């Protein structure tokens, strides 16, 4: 039975990290990345535990197995994941609807992943609906960035309500990234 819930234990953290490893770009063949997507950041278990103590991430479980996750990353954790420091700095320099983003209550979708075999079953949409239910009273904007090459992820995020606000090229890895946000005051959950 598939359930959408939040991280409750270290076992859930281990489940997230196991699913993450299986879907890291370096572990997924290029031809599968095109159709199925990939994740890019490898999280430290201690940092992930602290992130979940501050604001639990949403997970999908089939029995006791984590088959999907949508990580909640509050801005104060940006310095704990070195690969994301430039993203947090960039977010803080952007404006949205004529105001600096840092003036809004916001957080970052630290990463989202659905296990093979569970894709196309609305697990992604249900996890984002749970994020909305949990965090929309506290935050207005949910922000993330996605590789422009990860077209499956871009389409899925657009489907639930995200919109692009900025693109940038990372010359160190030769990749274009799209910063997207979901404004919970403007758009209700709309899968």
Report the pLDDT value the prediction gives residue 108, as an integer from 0 to 100.
95
The pTM is what? 0.89
Residue 57 and residue 95: Cα distance in Å, rounded? 26
Buried b (16+ CB within 10 A) or exposed e, 42-53: ebeeeebeebbe
Q: How many CA atoms lie within 13 A of 90 on its CB side?
A: 19
Query: Over the range 96-105, which residues count as b (16 or more CB within 10 Å of their CB) and which as e?
Result: beeeebeebe
Residue 178's pLDDT is 96
**pLDDT recorded at residue 44:** 87
For 137, the enclosing helix (H) or strand (E) is: none
Q: Which of 128, 166, 153 is nearest to 25 (CA)?
A: 153
Question: What was the pLDDT predicted at 85?
Answer: 84
d(CA 137, CA 114): 26
Quote the tokens at residue 78: 């940006």
Torsion of CA 145, 116, 126, 13, to 10 degrees: -70
Residues in contact with 115: Cβ distance below 8 Å, sequence separation at least 6, in sequence order: 19, 22, 23, 67, 68
| CA 137 – CA 118 distance, rounded (Å) | 29
Helix axes 10-23, 45-54, angle to 10 degrees: 120
pLDDT confidence of residue 1 = 87
Per-residue pLDDT of the chain (191 residues; tens, 9 = 90+): 899 999 999 999 999 999 998 877 776 666 675 566 667 677 789 999 999 999 999 999 999 999 999 999 999 998 898 888 888 999 999 999 999 999 999 999 988 999 989 988 999 999 999 999 999 999 999 999 998 988 888 999 999 999 999 999 988 778 899 999 999 987 655 55
């Amino acid at each position: 039975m598939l359930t959408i819930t939040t991280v409750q234990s270290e076992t859930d953290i281990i489940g997230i990290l196991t699913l993450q490893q299986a879907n890291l770009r370096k572990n997924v063949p290029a031809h599968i990345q095109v159709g199925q997507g990939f994740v890019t950041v490898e999280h430290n278990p201690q940092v992930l535990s602290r992130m979940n103590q501050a604001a639990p991430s949403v997970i999908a479980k089939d029995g006791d197995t984590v088959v999907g996750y949508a990580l909640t990353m509050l801005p104060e954790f940006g310095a704990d994941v070195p690969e994301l420091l430039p993203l947090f700095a960039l977010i803080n320099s952007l404006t949205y609807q004529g105001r600096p983003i840092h003036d809004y209550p916001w957080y970052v979708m630290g990463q989202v992943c659905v296990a093979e075999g569970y894709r196309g079953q609305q697990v992604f949409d249900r996890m984002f609906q749970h994020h909305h239910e949990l965090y929309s009273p506290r935050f207005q904007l949910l922000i993330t960035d996605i590789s422009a090459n990860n077209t499956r992820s871009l389409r899925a995020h657009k489907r639930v309500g995200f919109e692009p606000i900025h693109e940038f090229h990372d010359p160190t890895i030769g990749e274009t990234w799209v910063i997207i946000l979901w404004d919970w005051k403007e758009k209700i959950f709309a899968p």
